[in-house]
Amino acid sequence: MNRNYFHLHLVSDSTGETLIAVSRAVAAQYQGTVSIEHVYPLVRNADQLARVINEIQSAPGIVLYTLVDPTLSDELQSACAEFGAVSMSVLEPIVNLFHSYLGPAQSPRPGAQHTLNSEYFRRIEALNYTMAHDDGQGVDEFESADVVLLGVSRTSKTPTSIYLANRGVKTANLPLVPGAPIPEAIFQLNRPLVVGLLASPERIVQIRENRLLSLNVADNTPYVDRAMVSDEIAQSRRLFNERKWPMIDVTRRSIEETAASIMDLHRLHQMKFLSD
């Protein structure tokens, strides 16, 4: 049956991030069909689950869930079967695979991946560092970064930096501004991976024009001049080539894809840095 939309119920005993990421990745394959998301985080007792079941019953659709408690999981599955909503435990196949290899988990806990452990505090430290070293701030401290991003205005340096920080990667970034000298400290960097971000002139102009429009600023400036933008990008490319810094063209990449490429480059950079 073809549908223009469907209800997607995401039931989690934690934050729901896993369900959101998985479901959106699949839903994106169905162009022309819109998922109406209903997210129910922190469902950990029967009363909370009862409220969720009532909402699912009023708008049946696809139900995905991550519930560690087998009693809650069974109750949700039975309720969905009663009123014709298809349901699936997203983690169960993976849990079964781990179980077959490692044996049963010692202590199944809802939201165990979000405990305040060293990894969590590492991400917080990375985020604090990244916010303090955004847009060229504290350039003399860039040596303590894991990654340094360079690029002309509107090459997604800041959102990419924040995404990397949420993965525990301390990231600094510096805009390349026409006529402005690059701080000498950038050329002295040793520990961080330096990555150049590029995009097509058309893409940069489009983003800059939208930016000026949102600010109610006239668009007859060199900032959005096609020829000058092309020259900016060409100069940045020459710089990256001269310094042998890896380059990533973000024209058709999402922030997530760009960050994944950078993390892979960072892994190789760390291996080389440690072996030297």
- Is 154 annotated in some ligand binding site? yes
152 marked as binding residue: yes
Instruction: Confirm whether residue 161 is marked as ligand binding.
Output: no
Map the chain to HEC letters. Answer: CCCCEEEEEEEECCCCHHHHHHHHHHHCCCCCCEEEEEEECCCCCHHHHHHHHHHHHHCCCEEEEECCCHHHHHHHHHHHHHCCCEEEECCHHHHHHHHHHHCCCCCCCCCHHHCCCHHHHHHHHHHHHHHHCHHHCCHHHHHHCCEEEEECCCCCHHHHHHHHHCCCCCEEEEECCCCCCCCHHHHCCCCCEEEEEECCHHHHHHHHHHHHHHCCCCCCCHHHCHHHHHHHHHHHHHHHHHHCCCEEECCCCCHHHHHHHHHHHHHHHHHHHHHC
- Does 151 count as an annotated binding residue? yes
Residue 6 sits at φ, ψ, to 5 deg, of: -150, 155
Please indicate if the annotation marks 89 as binding a ligand.
no
61 is in an annotated binding site: no
3 is in an annotated binding site: no
Is 157 marked as a binding-site residue?
Answer: yes
Binding residues: 151-158
Q: Per the annotation, where are the binding residues for ADP?
A: 151-158
